[in-house]
Chains A and B, each alone.
Chain A
Amino acid sequence: MSRLLNMQMSWPATAIDRLRRMFEARFHRLTGRRFFVDTAQTQVDVHFRMWFWQRIMRRNADAYWPVHPSTRVRGGRFVVIGPETSPGWSVGCDIDGRGGIYIGDYTQIAPTVRMYSVAEGQEPTGAPDDFSISIGKYSLLTMNVVVEAGVTLGDFTIVGANSVVTDSFPEGHCVIAGNPARLIKRLDPAACEHWQRATPYVGYTRLAEIAKLRGAAIDSVLFDRIWGAA
């Protein structure tokens, strides 16, 4: 009872937690990759549990960003994400990227968000040459949102809970909600803040080393559409 009174975890859980922290702190000495250290305290920090299920158990292994073990990612090659945004980092998401998904920088994605880039009842036809779903920077997809194929959302779009986005809102700076999603409110573009992280990470990869992913983890046609200019 004294353990609970102090809100502590049980001793096996505490021991495992300390081991995990030691592993994360020393991981870069073994592999040279610092994502455990560098993404801590950011909005999509890499948890050991995510790394373990993706990299060791090979669940959702084609996703190059941290993904919760309870989410499902298909077609991770055709998903291009910006820094510090990870579709499926939260619980229970279903990301079907086979039709091409782009997600802008610093966009937050809540639990159980579903993105279906291949239209209902259709089969994906090989590698797409353009994005079926495109979501802007600094957006927020809240809980239980469904994004259908062919949707484009601009920067600073906030999608309300339990809404189904079937239409595009490419101008951004708005709040949309409902089933189907409709415009609720417009935001003042001047007030919206374009913030940036000092060392941004695209999933497990540092933004400066993004070119490594081209062809290896991301389809090169879709990669060039976003990162080609940079």
Chain B
Amino acid sequence: MSRAIPWRVRFAQHLIGINGAAYWPMHPHSQLAYPNRVLLGRDSWPGIEPLCYVSANMGLVIGDGVRIGREVGLITGNHDPTRLTNYLEVAPQIIGHHCIVEDGCTILPGVELADFCIVTRGSVVTRSCLKPRSILTGNPAKVVGTHDRPVPAIAADAKHGYIPAADFDAFSRRNLRHQYLGRFGAAFTPPSSIASRP
């Protein structure tokens, strides 16, 4: 079994309904927008720490075993600077497998992080980092080095949030907005013969 879900989080999500739309455990003091535009890997819970902001309005893809600290902002949509209520079209934000996003980081729209990246405290990731195992620091974040930590094991029964791995395919096909998931959405788009059927 992977990590235990705190009872407070269960209470808030499943009894009161705070962040109840998220299909993964999320702290009641985190904020979430558009949970059905998030494609979540196994054993990664964005927003389980308090004061996170997961704003998935332009799509968010998170890999397996991602660790995300508190006060982290995963921002996927740029405001139109001349009219703030509108958003600009960008590619979805992608966070690779086993990334570590430490406290107080902000990851800006359109950014793609490779696998095993580490983003240190309080940095702002503005550009994509396609080199695996890099360490990013600063505002704006720069690659300052690499690391070679061993690959952490993911439990065999680790779920995609609350969804067991066996059901996740059906779940994502049914509920997730694949238009917003970029190249990951193509995997569960129905073939054109079905889509064009009236």
Which residues of chain A have a CB within 8 Å of any CB of chain B?
Answer: 1, 4-7, 9-10, 12-14, 16-17, 43, 49, 68-70, 90-92, 106, 108, 110-112, 138, 140, 142-144, 156, 158, 160-163, 175, 177-179, 187-188, 191-193, 195
Contacts and interface: CB of A to CB of B under 8 A. Distances in A.
17 contacts: A4-B171, A5-B174, A7-B36, A9-B20, A10-B20, A12-B15, A70-B50, A91-B31, A92-B50, A111-B51, A112-B71, A112-B73, A161-B73, A161-B75, A161-B139, A179-B139, A192-B82
B83 interface: yes
Contact of A108 (B16, B52, B79, B108): B79
Main secondary structure of the interface of A (DSSP, over half): loop
A193 B106 contact: no
Contacts of B51: 70, 91-92, 111-112
B13 interface: yes
Contacts of B6: none
A1 B167 contact: yes
A110 B73 contact: yes
Given A16-B17, A138-B84, A143-B53, A4 B23 contact: yes
Interface in B102-132: 104, 106, 108, 122-124
- Interface size range on B against A: 35 or more
A6 B15 contact: no
Contacts of A106: 84
Contact of B53 (A91, A138, A162): A91
A143 B81 contact: no
Contacts of A68: 31
A147 B148 CA distance: 38
Contacts of B20: 9-10, 13, 17
A24 to B, nearest CB: 14
B156 interface: no
Nearest to A158: B81
B162 interface: yes
Which has the most chain B C-beta neighbours within 10 Å: A16, A142, A177, A178?
Answer: A142
B16 A16 contact: yes
Given A17-B17, A112-B71, A143-B53, A5 B170 contact: yes
Contact of A13 (B17, B81, B139): B17
Contacts of A156: 81-82
Contacts of A7: 21, 23, 35-36, 171, 174-175
Given A12-B15, A111-B31, A162-B139, A90 B53 contact: yes
